[in-house]
Amino acid sequence: MGGKISPSVMCADFRHLEENIKILEKARVEYLHFDIMDGSFVPNFTLGPDLMKSVREITDIPFDVHLMVQHPENHIALFDLKPGDIVSVHQESTVHLQRTLQKIKDSGARPAVALNPATPIYSIEDVLDDVNAVLIMTVNPGFAGQKLVPATLKKIAKMKRYLVENGYGHIEIEVDGNVSYENARKMRKAGADIFVAGTSSLFIKGINLLDSALELRRCII
Ligand code: DX5
Ligand code: ZN
């Protein structure tokens, strides 16, 4: 089975959001990635639960919610989550990580833990029974249009090896940040399964959205 595409909605053309989503349906993307930021865990603000509610009314594509917020456990109930959705919380954002992941599971969504580039993969070894996926940030979170942190490519391979060697080969690896066509190929080779696609490969000015999605698909077979 090939890699899965999760378009970063914060990078979409908000003036034509419904049209963008209909095209992404045609491209059969597996998720829609919603970056939620609080201006504290990351120095930016982006999308929120109201926008997600509107998008939920126009598509059945499962949501991939990336909480870049302090104390995510206090905010999970704000989001209208559905079975099949992924919700990622940062290992660095709560002292009660296992309880937070359990809360996501109780909501019916699929829990995932996210790691900033500097956070070691071993920091989550005790919650692997509580997640369906691990999100490896390949840029420092907060903004679109950044450049890959080169060491994260090795980190993806290390994470994959660690998961397989410890009986967690079923856990998917999601990558987020500067997923360009070239980087996507390298990330796929390193073991990534889900690709958050933003300005680097999908929402590129002057390039037809369906064409860019099909091109990305070819890079992650
Ligand atoms: C970064 C965001 C990413 C980003 C991806 O914090 O989480 O989703 O928008 O877009 P590009 O391809 O611009 O890195
Ligand atoms: Zn993200």
Summarize pLDDT for 159-214 with one digit per residue, the tens: 999 999 999 999 999 999 999 999 999 999 999 999 999 999 999 999 999 999 99
Average pLDDT of span 142-169: 98
| Binding pocket residue ranges, ligand 1, CB within 6 Å | 8, 10-11, 33, 35, 66, 139, 141-146, 176-179, 196, 198-200
Q: What angle do CA 92, 95, 97 make, to 5 degrees?
A: 80
Catalytic residue among 35, 64, 85, 130: 35
13 assigned to active site: no
Secondary structure letter of residue 71 according to DSSP: S
CA atoms within 13 A on the CB side of 173: 26
Tell me what pLDDT residue 11 has. 97
Pocket test for ligand 1, best of 199, 203, 209 (most atoms within 8 A of CB): 199
Does position 14 have pLDDT exceeding 90, yes or no? Answer: yes
Nearest atom within ligand 1 for CA of residue 197: 12
- Of residues 65, 85, 60, 83, the one with CA closest to residue 75: 65
Whose C-alpha lies nearest to ligand 1, atom 8?
8
Whose C-alpha lies nearest to ligand 1, atom 10?
198
| Cα-to-centroid distance, 8 and ligand 1 (Å) | 6
pLDDT digit string (tens) for 88-117? 999 999 999 999 999 999 999 999 999 999
Pick the ligand that lies closest to the CA of residue 66.
2
Q: What class has domain 4-219?
A: alpha beta
The Cα-based distances of 206 to 10, 23, 107, 113, 181 in angstroms read 18, 15, 40, 34, 16
Residue list, CB under 5 A from ion ligand 2? 35, 66, 176
| Cα-to-centroid distance, 200 and ligand 1 (Å) | 8
The Cα-based distances of 148 to 9, 10, 141 in angstroms read 19, 18, 11
Pocket test for ligand 1, best of 5, 34, 35, 65 (most atoms within 8 A of CB): 35
Pick the ligand that lies closest to the CA of residue 197.
1
pLDDT digit string (tens) for 52-91? 999 999 999 999 999 999 999 999 999 999 999 999 999 9
Beta pairing, strands 4-7 & 172-176: unpaired
Question: Would you state the torsion angle of the CA atoms of residues 189, 193, 194, 197, taken in this order, to the nearest 10 degrees?
Answer: 10
Secondary structure letter of residue 8 according to DSSP: B
3 state DSSP class of 68: strand
35 assigned to active site: yes
CA atoms within 13 A on the CB side of 180: 10
Tell me what pLDDT residue 1 has. 85
How far apart are the C-alpha atoms of 180 and 130, rounded to whole Å?
30
pLDDT digit string (tens) for 25-49? 999 999 999 999 999 999 999 999 9
Q: Is the distance from CB of 119 to CB of 91 less than 8 angstroms?
A: yes
State how far Cα 54 lies from the chain centre: 20
How far apart are the C-alpha atoms of 73 and 103, rounded to whole Å?
7
How far apart are the C-alpha atoms of 6 and 25, rounded to whole Å?
11
Q: Model-level pTM?
A: 0.97
> Amino acid identity, residue 184?
A
CA atoms within 13 A on the CB side of 8: 29
Does position 17 have pLDDT exceeding 90, yes or no? Answer: yes
